[in-house]
Amino acid sequence: MNQLASKRYFGFWLYLMTDCLLFAALFATYVVLRGNTADGPRPSEIFNMPFVLVETVILLTSSFICGLMLLAAKANNVRRTKTLLFGVIVLGVLFLGMELSEFTQLVHEGAGWTTSAFLSAFFTLVGTHGAHIFIGLLWAGALLWLLQTRTFNDALLQKTGLFAMFWHFLDVIWIFIFTIVYIMGAA
């Protein structure tokens, strides 16, 4: 790895650490506010655990496919890299669609972000993760376009590696959301 690539990876790690701080603050806020329901619905009353489990499996599968994509890119198998990246995009869109569906249903049932401090913290935490997924999907689409229109080289491999780091980071954050928000909330 050349010096410029090392600096880019280091810079991206710094960015991910700032995102860790952002999510740590959102998790702390959620944990403090999760009991403040203002006589509104409690977490155990609104979470559809089978739905969230399917959502989680979809995101974990996309992360696995993303790892396979990076291996294909490192092996200079451009066709397989593009196919796997497309799979990541499809699963990411499906995950985001399910998250938006959950939000829509909650709001329709009167459990919107203004109902209580708990729901405000919930929508902020899970919505911030969803916004990151959306940005990741835009990035994946741009990367797919680059793979389609450019010659595969070290710079494109580096972009693929950085995307994979971001996508895996979002997966780790979701595992914390699934555990702290949904599993602990449903108990």
Tokens standing for residue 52: 């969230």
Look-up of token digits 């969230």: 52
Q: Residue 52 burial (CB < 10 Å; 0-12/13-18/19+)?
A: buried
- How many Å apart are CA 116 and CA 134, to the nearest integer? 26
- Number of neighbouring beta carbons within 10 Å of residue 183: 14
pTM of the full structure: 0.94
Q: Which range of residues forms the domain containing residue 39? A: 3-186
* The pLDDT of residue 173: 98
With a CB cutoff of 8 Å and minimum separation 6, the contacts of 99 are: 55, 126, 130, 133
* The pLDDT of residue 39: 85
Cα 179 from chain centroid?
A: 15
Q: pLDDT tier at 1 (50, 70, 90 boundaries)? A: low
DSSP state of 182: I
* The pLDDT of residue 115: 94
Residues 72-88, mean pLDDT to the nearest whole number:
97
In the chain, helix, strand, coil percent, each to 5? 85, 0, 15
Instruction: Return mean pLDDT, the chain.
Output: 95
- Asked if 96 contacts 58 with a C-beta cutoff of 8 angstroms, the reply is no
CA atoms within 13 A on the CB side of 156: 22
Look-up of token digits 């911030």: 128
| Tally of domains in the chain | 1
Q: Indicate if the pLDDT at residue 97 is higher than 80.
A: yes
Residues in the chain: 187
Express each pLDDT in 146-185 by its tens digit: 999 999 999 999 999 999 999 999 999 999 999 999 999 9
Residues 53-64, mean pLDDT to the nearest whole number:
98
Q: Indicate if the pLDDT at residue 63 is higher than 90.
A: yes
CATH of the domain at 78: 1.20.120.80
Q: pLDDT tier at 7 (50, 70, 90 boundaries)? A: confident
* The pLDDT of residue 187: 81
Q: What are phi and psi of 180, to 5 degrees?
A: -75, -45
- How many Å apart are CA 54 and CA 118, to the nearest integer? 24
Among 56, 21, 61, smallest CA distance to 186 is for 56
Express each pLDDT in 104-155 by its tens digit: 999 999 999 999 999 999 999 999 999 999 999 999 999 999 999 999 999 9
